[in-house]
Amino acid sequence: MEDKILLAHGSGGKLMHDLIQSFLPDLANPILEKMEDSAVFNVSGKLAFTTDSYVVNPIFFPGGDIGRLAVCGTVNDLAMSGAKPLYLSLSFIIEEGLPIADLKKILTSIKKAAAEADVKIVTGDTKVVNKGSADKLFVNTAGVGSVPEGVNISASNAKVGDKVILSGNIGDHGVAVLSQREGLKFDTPVPSDCAPLHKLVADMLAAASNIHCMRDPTRGGLATTLNDFAEKSNVGIRIEEDKIPVAKAVLAACELLGLDPLYIANEGKLVAVVPAKYTDAVLFAMKKNKYGRNAVIIGEVTAEHSQRVVMKTTLGASRIVDMPVGELLPRIC
């Protein structure tokens, strides 16, 4: 096989056949191995379905790559509705000239992430475009998961008195990608937090099945997610700055670049709005999971300042936390 992707790898002929066959050892499962135009599988009950595209630049970054990001991002979108992820699709749009070794490295990452998430990749597609028509590699995914009976998680479900729980440090992913892209060096390296969160969500739901809202704060960060909850639920949300965990290296990077950690993307964190009487049980369950050991209550839902997020600062003042007007860090996922 050639050492770089050629246009002929997308022609439907022998080169394309050989390329796709080379994927199978990494992604093998009985449904995918049939190599049909669509996957056929059995499901029952309430389903969640999502789709996403990944165009992160660069495609390799500290703590992950576009492959791990695609699997974890799709798994997490399903998990935020309370679903157990089951099946994913995986489609590549490859720029002519991409080294085959890079593609294999990404496939290995996808294999590991899918195994950790306990999901099967059951169908997919590969396209090759002319050099200059893409940026190395774009990935599209779709995912299907099953939602347990009685679970109803929605951004419109927040109630006055609910507590807001954050699963850990914010801003790691955005700073990791930016530092790799711009060649920035920090005394303490900042790896991406990219991780599948479905098992953490399952632990939380085992502690309290009536969690009201849940979201992984990706593009737009924690601030955008909380504003979405406040707006859709027609409530106010008050948070406390000194309760929000941010790594020192991320804080230093944000100060250097004039960024606010509240708006920086995450790929392995979640924020949940939980009825007050179940908060301790949910927090206890989260802390037993490796992806929730730093979970903390950062605020509560209020009747005041409807559809607004207000933060008590470390100085004791209050400030409104708005949604960002534009994209602070483009192409971080």
CATH code of the domain containing 122:
3.30.1330.10
One domain, residues 101 and 173: no
pLDDT at 37: 84
Quickly state the pLDDT bin for 44 (edges 50, 70, 90).
confident
Cβ atoms of residues 71 and 79 within 8 Å: no
Q: Is the model's pLDDT at 156 over the cut of 80?
A: yes
Domain contains 331: no
Burial call 126-154: b when 16+ CB within 10 Å, e when fewer: bebeeeeebebbbbbbbbbbbbeeebebe
Quickly state the pLDDT bin for 256 (edges 50, 70, 90).
confident
User: What domain range is 239 assigned to?
Assistant: 163-320
- Compute φ and ψ for 8, nearest 5 degrees: -65, -20
Rounded mean pLDDT of the chain? 94
pLDDT in tens, 74-112: 999 999 999 999 999 999 999 999 999 999 999 999 999
pLDDT at 329: 81
Domain contains 154: no
- Compute φ and ψ for 269, nearest 5 degrees: -130, 155
Q: Is the model's pLDDT at 1 over the cut of 70?
A: no
Domain contains 247: yes
Q: What percent of the chain has pLDDT over 90?
A: 81
Q: Is the model's pLDDT at 8 over the cut of 80?
A: yes
Higher pLDDT, 177 or 326: 177
Q: What is the average per-residue pLDDT within 61-66?
A: 96
Domain contains 332: no
pLDDT in tens, 258-301: 999 999 999 999 999 999 999 999 999 999 999 999 999 999 99
One domain, residues 129 and 169: no
Answering whether pTM is above 0.85, one says yes
One domain, residues 241 and 281: yes
- DSSP lists the bridge partners of residue 127 as 93
- Of 114, 121, 325, 92, nearest to 223 by C-alpha is 325
Helix (H, G, I), strand (E, B) or coil at 125: strand
One domain, residues 197 and 130: no
Q: What is the CATH number of the domain that holds 271?
A: 3.90.650.10
pLDDT in tens, 227-242: 999 999 999 999 999 9
Domain contains 48: yes
Considering its fold, how many domains does the chain have in total? 2
